[in-house]
Structure 1
Amino acid sequence: MKKLRDVMTKDPTVINAKDSLKAAALKMREQNVGPLPVCDGERLTGIITDRDIVVRAVSQGKDPNGTTVAEAMTGQLEYAFEDEDLSVVAEMMRAKGVRRILALDRNKKLVGIVALSDLLEELAEAEVSETLETISTAPTPAAH
């Protein structure tokens, strides 16, 4: 079975909680991503998404130049370890109702990020492959 490390985006771009929302939006545009993990040095402190910027700041009239990432980020983190089976991670994401999850090593250092769509695509491919293998190795019925 494949592990989270096999499908995650490795070494994701991060941002500091003290940076402005404009800086976060620029990084998102440059990297073509919606979420950015928020780190204070090596320590993971949250995650900010393009939706967080819009809903928690812009829609409330806050200035993206003067509003920090800390003011709009989500502090509650959902993560899995990079060596966990994809099926376990997919179930965790389903149970928690999240579309992306951070990947940590066993020292709890950020090593990647994965979207639910990437996980499901990989699991579906594995299922199809397994089904085809089962079908192709099954004995053919005898002709009457």
Structure 2
Amino acid sequence: MSSIKNIMNPNPITCSSSETVSDVAKKMSEKGLGAILVVENDKISGIFSERDLLNRVVSKGLNPETTSIKDVETKNPVSVSQDTKIKECVSIIKEKNFRHLPVVDGNSKPIGIISTRDFLSYIVGGLEKFIDQSVYEKEIKEGADPYDHIGGGYDK
């Protein structure tokens, strides 16, 4: 079974806990991120997500310009190593109702992040590959030339 390193987004975008919610939200928006890892001294200390922005800032009437990430982040998030099996990561995300899961090295330094969108892409890609293989095998059984699939076929 594949490990998470095959589908994680490496080199995650990070912020420090002293940054304001406004600055971090802008960074997330510019990069198209649903979550950002909070790092102190090269170690993950938290995670801040769109959900945190909604539930811990906006709904509480806090000012994003003056509120520090340290006051609204999810501290000490559950994380996994890059060798963790995909099935185990899916279980964690499902059981904990997470949308993002940090990937760290042996020193708690963030080396990646995985999202539910990444899992969906992985599943869809695998399904497409399975369907393509099934169609190919069916066509071969029906007498198709197997070389037609290489390079999209060739007719003179």
Q: Percent identity?
A: 22
Superposed CA RMSD in Å reads 2.4
Q: 2:114 — aligned with what?
A: 114
Distance in structure 1 (CA, Å) of the matches to 2:110 and 2:29: 21
How far is the alpha carbon of 1:83 from its aligned partner?
Answer: 1.3
TM-score by length of 1: 0.81
* Paired letter, 1:107: N
Q: Which has the larger radius of gyration?
A: 2
* Paired letter, 1:116: T
* Paired letter, 2:121: E
Q: 1:27 — aligned with what?
A: 27
TM-score by length of 2: 0.76
Distance in structure 2 (CA, Å) of the matches to 1:20 and 1:13: 16
* Paired letter, 2:47: I
How far is the alpha carbon of 1:130 from its aligned partner?
Answer: 5.4
Q: 1:95 — aligned with what?
A: 95
Matches within 5 A, 1:1-144: 1-126=1-126, 129=129, 136=137
- Paired residues of 2:37 and 2:48 also in contact (CA < 8 A): yes
Aligned length: 140
Deviations 1:3-39 (A, max 9, x none): 2111111111111111111111111111111211111
Q: Specify whether residues 54 and 130 from structure 1 end up closer, same or farther in structure 2 by C-alpha distance, changes over 3 A only.
A: closer
